[in-house]
Amino acid sequence: MSIFAPQKTEQYSVVDPVQEELDEEIIQNNKLVQSLRHKIISAASHISKNMDINIKRIYLVGSSLTFQYRPDSDIDVTLFVESSKEDLKDLNKILEDSFNEKLFLHKHPINFHFNSGKYDKFKADAIYDVLSDKWIKQPEPLSDSDVEEMIQDCKSAKEFNEIMREYAHLKAMLKSYSKNSDSFEEILDQAFRVSILFSNIRNTRREEYRKRKDKNIPSANFRCSNIIFKLLEQHGLNDLAKQISVFLQSRAKN
């Protein structure tokens, strides 16, 4: 993995191109494809029995339901259970380790996530109730120009320009790395600086998902903090430590 190559976003990204239609592998005639619906219900039943937990509702959320889907977009399934926030963390860890990235629809991995309580519709661009077989929130059609305008507005933010400036400096340091201890320490210091800036943006993004609905945007995903986070994710800043480690190892072999 090279630090100089932009990385592919692994999760839903508001910066992906806009499609003309919804993914027909998932939605047909404005309904969830029944074979997929049954597959999800069967998997949820297996999880319920395996983990001895009662699942009350099953919602499909995420980019696979929107006009910004990709052929490999996750099919995100939210399973509603009665549980404390502390228990949810442990339960979701079990899901991640034992059930996620195991079931696929073509290139789409079907991943599961436990939740409890009320689900805020503003947090998602689309929501489908799998058990009731109906939309809770339908995706809003967008144009490429709409998305590009939002991206450009967020790119002008001070936070984005600051981290990209520091990131460019880090890449320049890596390119001229001379394999001595001084330059190695300088690289680590700069990488730490970039990581702190990225963490600040990630924390802001998390806080802004808790804010009230904004009638000017389709969902919380279109807040600038999330758009900036996804742009940085595309450049690989979410996995900066691994990139630097691989890069330095490759340079050490040369």
* pLDDT tens per residue, range 100-149: 989 999 999 999 999 998 888 998 999 999 999 999 999 999 888 988 99
**Is CATH 1.10.760 correct for 27-137?**
no
- C-alpha span between 165 and 151 (Å, rounded): 18
Mean pLDDT of 42-57: 96
Would the CA dihedral through 95, 101, 139, 203 be positive or negative? positive
As given in the structure block, the two tokens for residue 16 are 């992906």
Parallel, antiparallel or unpaired: strands 75-80 and 134-137: unpaired
Q: 3-7, 52-56, 104-108 — which is least confidently predicted?
A: 3-7
Mean pLDDT of 145-174: 93
Mean pLDDT of 72-78: 94
pLDDT at 15: 86
As given in the structure block, the two tokens for residue 177 are 């790395």
Q: Is the pLDDT of residue 88 over 60?
A: yes
Domain boundaries, the chain: 27-137, 144-253
pLDDT at 6: 46
8 A C-beta contact, residue 101 and residue 109: yes
Residue 105: strand, helix, or coil: strand
Q: Is the pLDDT of residue 9 over 60?
A: no
Q: Is the pLDDT of residue 237 over 50?
A: yes
Longest dimension (CA), the chain: 63
The C-alpha angle with vertex 112 and arms to 12 and 10, in degrees rounded to 5, equals: 25
Q: 18-27, 57-66, 67-76, 234-243 — which is least confidently predicted?
A: 234-243
Residue 166: strand, helix, or coil: helix
Q: Is the pLDDT of residue 227 over 50?
A: yes
Mean pLDDT of 16-35: 95
Which residues are CB-contacts of 238 (< 8 A; sequence separation ≥ 6)? 7, 198, 232
Percent of the chain exceeding pLDDT 90 equals: 65
